[in-house]
Amino acid sequence: MKKIDQSRKAKQNFDSPILPFLQGKERIDKKALCYHLSQPMMSRPLDGRTVREKISEVSLYYPVLSSSKKKGYRLARPFKGLSLKEAKDERSEVRETANEIMSRINYLKRKLKPLIAYDKAISKYIAELEQHEASYGN
């Protein structure tokens, strides 16, 4: 996997047509993003998967808020100038998104364990077969 430059300079140089739609207080859902990002001359509109990929790209540089409890996506708001309540609410949404991501990571790690065990076992088996072949031929 190619390492991604997530420096401040890279963030400044990063551009995505989806960014303007994610800014502000209100969330925007995939269907609305598909509509806004599709050009009138396109033969078919962007699909949800493509929009999710674009959101994922943005999330490498900006804090994108999403939740299973709330429909849609938005960027975390700049916190300078927020009231105490607004800042706490924003922090709560950021933590909720981070907790959901951590939960997915932990779930995927659990799914990975049987695959690692299988890979280790079959690698051992292949080594035995190769040794047997080297010793006795085909």
Which pLDDT tens digit goes with each residue over 106-131?
999 999 999 999 999 999 999 999 99
Domain hosting residue 108, numbered range: 79-138
> Are both 15 and 59 inside the same structural domain?
yes
Threshold 0.85, pTM exceeds: no
> Are both 4 and 30 inside the same structural domain?
yes
> Are both 104 and 87 inside the same structural domain?
yes
Q: What is the CATH number of the domain that holds 15?
A: 1.10.10
Q: Which residues of 53-77 are buried (b: 16+ CB within 10 A; e: fewer)?
A: ebbeebbebbebbbeeeeebbbbeb
Tens-digit pLDDT profile for residues 40-83: 555 666 787 888 898 999 999 999 999 888 899 999 999 899 99
